[in-house]
Amino acid sequence: MKILSTLALFWAISLLYVFPLTGQTKTLARVSVQGNQFITEDGSNLVFRGLNTSDPDRLARAGKWNAAYFAEMKSWGANIVRFPVHPSRWRARGAAFYLELLDEGIRLAAEQGFYVIIDWHSIGNLRTQLYQNDSYDTTLKETFEFWRAIGRRYGDNPTVAFYELFNEPTTQQGRLGSCSWEQWKSLMEEVIGIVRANGGQGIPLVAGFNWAYDLRSVREQPIEAKDIAYVSHPYPQKRSKPWEDQWTQDWGFVKEKYPLILTEIGFAGEEERGAHIPVISDESYGDAITAYCDAAGISYVVWVFDPQWAPPLFTDWTFQKLTRQGVYFKQKMQGY
């Protein structure tokens, strides 16, 4: 009996190394689309206010892809986090190892009660396969394979509520070649078909042109797929003041019929490190974009929860030295 008890204890300890104990993970209600709303299984409407992480690979190499990082985001009042997966980092780490990073991030997010957006973070023209810089280089095959892998691995995980199919489509006024809305629409419908055929039950997010700002083509030619949502990145210098009427014409009208989520917003004072076009502005932008979203029930995610990437929300890893937008959005989000 003593030998059996000793063996049982040995195996129990061994299993802790294979299946380590973790904190209590919340089971989140699955999010779906109903009309122009995001809803839970009991029919409750959800409006998301969240934060962008930097690339999970960057955070892991910095030793910050951990519980403390996610707990800090929770303390800001977020209910969703967006993981920007750069194609170059996906290739460098390798799909199998990168998926392990996502596994860990999704687990940590669930423990804080966060929903997750997985974002294929490329900038450029997927049709011609020309991009803003090398970190965004990808191919159609790699993009399709990425979403096949995501659908297979996380398709029935309600924490992974959204699949942002391509971060910021742009032709840079023809410098990256041409792409019509019809061509882009067809590509996105193809990706949606692939992720769903591979088990993806999350909500596909589709961005428009001009670095994901312009959704005007949706008015006449919406994506031919059910249960999707649209994306805009309305940084302050995309239009001049007053913004509101222009926002309505360019992307806000979409919320009349479809769910809409601004997966990147943010600003930097012109005196701050990392200030660059199109993000230079002040707190008046924060007031305008949050009031616009609150009035229409539009979800938003602030860029970026990192001290080096721009525009940052804080300036060092103590999380204490906030930028102007960090001060603004922390107070705003904690007030909901």
Backbone Cα Rg of the chain: 20
Sequence-ordered list of residues with C-beta below 8 angstroms from that of 222, at least 6 positions apart, any chain:
257, 258
Give the separation between CA 305 and CA 312, rounded to whole angstroms: 6
Q: What is the pLDDT of residue 25?
A: 56
Predicted structure pTM score:
0.92
- Pick one of 3.20.20.80, 3.30.70.1230, 1.10.1060.10, 2.40.70.10 as the CATH number of 27-334: 3.20.20.80
Q: What is the pLDDT of residue 37?
A: 98
pLDDT in tens, the chain (336 residues): 444 343 343 343 333 333 333 344 568 999 999 999 999 999 999 999 999 999 999 999 999 999 999 999 999 999 999 999 999 999 999 999 999 999 999 999 999 999 999 999 999 999 999 999 999 999 999 999 999 999 999 999 999 999 999 999 999 999 999 999 999 999 999 999 999 999 999 999 999 999 999 999 999 999 999 999 999 999 999 999 999 999 999 999 999 999 999 999 999 999 999 999 999 999 999 999 999 999 999 999 999 999 999 999 999 999 999 999 999 999 999 999
User: Whose CA is closest to 72, among 112, 15, 29, 130?
Assistant: 112
pLDDT on residue 27: 84
Tell me what pLDDT residue 20 has. Answer: 37
Using CB atoms within 10 A of its CB, is residue 92 exposed (0-12), middle (13-18) or buried (19+)? exposed
- Classify residue 157 as exposed, middle or buried by CB count within 10 Å of its CB (0-12, 13-18, 19+): middle
d(CA 110, CA 87): 25
Q: Decide if 73 contacts 114 (C-beta within 8 A).
A: yes
Domain boundaries, the chain: 27-334
Spatial distance between the Cα atoms of 86 and 79, rounded to a whole number of angstroms: 23
Q: What is the pLDDT of residues 142-188, one digit of tens each?
A: 999 999 999 999 999 999 999 999 999 999 999 999 999 999 999 99
